[in-house]
Structure 1
Amino acid sequence: MRNNSNRAWKESIMNTKNLGEKNAMRVDRMLTLILCMVMLTNNASQASEPIPAPKQKHPIALIGATVHTVSGAVIQNGTILFDKGKIVAVGTAVTIPQNTERIDTRGKHIYPGLIDASSSLGLTEIGSVRGTLDLSETGRINPNVRAEVAIHPESELIPVARSGGITVAAVSPAGGLISGTAAAIMMDGWTYEEMTLKAPLALVVNWPSMVYSPGRFMRMSREDWQKQRDEQLKQLRDAFAESRAYLKAKDAEKEKGIHYHDLDMRWEAMRPVFSKKIPVVVNANEISQIQAAVAWGEEEQIRIIIGGGRDAWRVADLLKAKDIPVIVNPIHTAPMRRWEGFDEAYTTPAKLKEAGVRFCISGDYSASNSRNTPHHAATAAAYGLAHDEALKAITLYPAQILGLEAMLGSIEVGKDATLMITDGDPLELSTTVEQIFIQGKKIDMQDKHKQLYEKYKQLEDR
């Protein structure tokens, strides 16, 4: 019995020892894996994440450039003086204070920073990685969703957009009937609070399709489609009616000093819409969609902007009469219908301009392609839109349409020192954006694309 007991005791000791060794090996492997991940993360962050710029601490003068004010005449051999984030002087005979940082920009061109009027920058990173997508919420009615709080300041796509000249983007949520509110986001900052220029900027509504188009992506019967469309329109109208009733009741409670209804953030978010402090961007492309959206806007007595607007030129008289602007996007796209010309989208801005409709041009909403916004404007210029108008369509016009004209869109005294220095025309593919300033802050121009270019350029020497 004693031998058996000793044997069992020894086996127990050996098993415990083996188990301890196995656990130690597992811990070692785990620590090694964690260390590798940390090292990879550090290397990646050091390589491609520029540090946000500090606030402007002293006056800066950009001297000797060709200054494209956009709102006025081009100034040859001009000087721009800015301090505390604001432009204080522009011209050829600017008095420069002694404590000013002087930057020689002879041979360069200075433009207002570009604005992408419809983007998902900061809300998406990699389309195939669900964890990097923060575009939409569940449900169809989400006016309380705020784009700015979901912004990822360390997105790799923001520095890339900056290198394309984008200094501010109107970032908006997507999905459902009422997606939420958009925000004007500056392309630099440590947090979303630092990056937010204006919020809320606009409420985003996606108008249901009004045309039955059976085919590859539409497999329901006409009756089912009509039922679905009518249900969506009813949901939209009911949401606005319910929010009006709620706000009326809450205002009455406040006036009488009583409390009856609980706070509902969905309907509280509608206050600036009904007071006309912010517009509603209605995403609509088809003729019938645009017509229905305009009629609905009048019925609700709200300010609307048409987003997309592929058929906007076909109802230009209506839009001009109601003074409803259009955010045209995208330009680089195929025709909506088989019988349309290949250049249908390319010529839309020129047609709207000729008809007297206010408009601006944005990219294709994709975060990774926001950098291509000036190329969309360039294509419009190649297909009938005057060059100066194409430039205004990505600077001054979006600022005016989105209520940012007091800060952005042109180079004028009193506006934000949000500028870009280039070696040529920003509507030309060969032009390089050499430096941008956002509210006077000199921005680091490094980005992932440049880093990869330098990396693979080394192969030339092998």
Structure 2
Amino acid sequence: MKGKMIVLVLIVLFTLPVFSSDIIPGKPQEKPIALVGGTIHTVTKGTIENGVVLFDKGKIVAVGREINIPKDAEVIDVKGKHIYPGLINAFTTIGLIEIGAVRATRDVTEVGLVNPNVRAEIAFNPDSEHPPVTRSNGITMALVVPTGELIAGQSALMMLDGWTWEEMTLKAPVGLHIYWPRMTLPSRGFMFVRRSPEELKKEVETRLNLIRETFQKARAYKKAKESEIQKGVPYHDTDLKYEAMIPVLEGKVPVFIHANSSKEILSAIEWAESEGLKIVIVGGADSWKVADVLKNKGIPVILTNIHRLPSRRYSDYDEPFTVAYKLYKAGVKFCIGGEGGYYNERNLPYQAGTCVAFGLPREEALKAITIYPAEILGVADKVGSIEPGKDATLIVTTGDPLEISTQVVYEFIQGKKVDLSNRQVKLYEKYVEKYRRLGLLK
């Protein structure tokens, strides 16, 4: 048995390099860079034709037509191209999973139901093959979210280029993630265990009680730790789970509640109000049904998995595609997130594009993957639009990023010029050359 374990360890050690990206991260900006002649889509302050974006030391210095460009600046001609702020994916597990079928590369879910101390940024793999593929389509930042059955842990907003997780972390923690108990029986799907309504009700109540109990204990722990400074009060042992919840109880970190049905959303809102917590709804498939409640209470929604089937047999085929438009019409704050996976996250702009095809104004769709997620995630002072003083996190494209035919030609993350090559590009070039040598391509 011991010999088999040694062999297994050696196999894992020797195969780990196979799962690592060999793309070199960009260097910190060494001199001013001016993007000249392109169409600037600032997102918040209109569009500037034939404009200039000047940035230095990772920050945007000036935006406009008449800009004084320093003599030592690197001037990049982007005439005929378009400049956008870097896109933000507000829901993904990228960097936490490399190959789903290989257990050693999955670090997305912790054991147990209550894990508020789990931190996504620490588990993030900076050498993953997935970030290069994702960022080549303009996604420069991603909210990396731990998964679980109840209280899963805390998310982090990661920049998709860098040597280490510390270097790539833009903000952490962003929120504490709770996966609200499913309150409706699934209508289809072989993966779901069939349960009676009574069994479902009992399970839901058990899990809701566990959430309430966890927050009650966290408040008691917080009170005990605060009382330690008083004379005669004994020291209270540190508990990492409850320690991680103190910023949440103080209102410094919001709670991201994953809920889809209207029943789940309303239940989550009622609980959050009883606890006095700031929340964000993640998923939100039925959020349009309770849009008036969300608007009145100022609760934002991160819409996820736009490209999916309707959740009910009797629903219209295009229901998932129209949720964004309905929230927009109702005045609810929202953004568009990814599928919550790790390998298709490059398709984020196309999910926003689908929403445009089903009613959402194009300008709103662009905001839903730039400035709106920046606002919801608490980083709008740094990213999400092209304005002086913000991070120079930008993309230069051949056209509208919501269109599949558009290509990203330049990308900068905090002023660093990012290598846009990736494993898929290299495989494409490899087989183009193969068929060229066979005389099948010119």
TM-score above 0.5:
yes
Q: Which residue of 1 aligns with 2:3?
A: none
**Which consecutive aligned stretches of 4+ in structure 1 deviate over 6 angstroms post-superposition?**
40-45
Provide Cα deviations, 1:309-354, integer angstroms capped at 9, x if missing partner. 0000000000001010000011100000000011000000000000
Alpha-carbon shift at residue 42 of structure 1 (Å): 7.6
Give distance in 2, aligned partners of 1:242 and 1:283: 22
Let me know the Cα RMSD of the aligned residues: 1.8
After superposition, residues 268-347 of structure 1 pair within 5 angstroms as: 268-347=243-322
Give distance in 2, aligned partners of 1:194 and 1:341: 45
Q: Which residue of 2 aligns with 1:62?
A: 35
Q: Which residue of 2 aligns with 1:9?
A: none
Secondary structure at the counterpart of residue 391 of structure 2: coil
CA contact (8 A) 1:214 1:220 kept: no
Q: Which residue of 2 aligns with 1:188?
A: 161
- Letter paired with 2:37: G
Q: Which residue of 2 aligns with 1:169?
A: 142
1:97 aligned onto 2:70 = yes
Residues 96, 257 of structure 1: CA spacing in aligned structure 2 closer, same or farther, 3 A cutoff? farther
1:202 aligned onto 2:202 = no
Provide Cα deviations, 1:286-323, integer angstroms capped at 9, x if missing partner. 01000001111111101000000000000000000101
CA contact (8 A) 2:304 2:339 kept: yes
- Letter paired with 1:243: A
Alpha-carbon shift at residue 460 of structure 1 (Å): 2.2
Give distance in 2, aligned partners of 1:200 and 1:68: 30
Secondary structure at the counterpart of residue 201 of structure 1: coil
Residues 307, 459 of structure 1: CA spacing in aligned structure 2 closer, same or farther, 3 A cutoff? same
1:263 aligned onto 2:238 = yes
Give distance in 2, aligned partners of 1:401 and 1:44: 33
Q: Which residue of 2 aligns with 1:52?
A: 25
- Letter paired with 1:369: N
Count of residues in correspondence between the two structures = 425
Instruction: List gaps (5 residues or longer) in structure 1.
Output: 1-29
Q: Which residue of 2 aligns with 1:379?
A: 354
With normalisation by structure 1, the TM-score equals 0.89
Give distance in 2, aligned partners of 1:43 and 1:273: 39
CA contact (8 A) 1:280 1:302 kept: yes
- Letter paired with 2:325: A
Q: Which residue of 2 aligns with 1:7?
A: none
Give distance in 2, aligned partners of 1:393 and 1:203: 22
Q: Which residue of 2 aligns with 1:407?
A: 382
Give distance in 2, aligned partners of 1:449 and 1:255: 61
Alpha-carbon shift at residue 226 of structure 1 (Å): 1.7
Q: Larger Cα Rg: Structure 1 or Structure 2?
A: 1
Q: Which residue of 1 aligns with 2:4?
A: none
With normalisation by structure 2, the TM-score equals 0.93
Q: Which residue of 2 aligns with 1:138?
A: 111
Seq. identity, %:
52
Q: Which of 448, 452, 459 is matched with 2:423 structurally?
A: 448
Give distance in 2, aligned partners of 1:59 and 1:258: 57
Residues 146, 44 of structure 1: CA spacing in aligned structure 2 closer, same or farther, 3 A cutoff? closer
Secondary structure at the counterpart of residue 319 of structure 2: coil
Residues 198, 43 of structure 1: CA spacing in aligned structure 2 closer, same or farther, 3 A cutoff? closer
CA contact (8 A) 2:19 2:98 kept: no
Q: Which residue of 1 aligns with 2:51?
A: 78
Give distance in 2, aligned partners of 1:415 and 1:257: 49
Q: Which of 101, 120, 126 is matched with 1:128 structurally?
A: 101
Secondary structure at the counterpart of residue 269 of structure 1: helix
- Letter paired with 2:88: I
Residues 55, 214 of structure 1: CA spacing in aligned structure 2 closer, same or farther, 3 A cutoff? closer
Give distance in 2, aligned partners of 1:276 and 1:413: 30
Q: Which residue of 2 aligns with 1:436?
A: 411
Give distance in 2, aligned partners of 1:257 and 1:93: 68
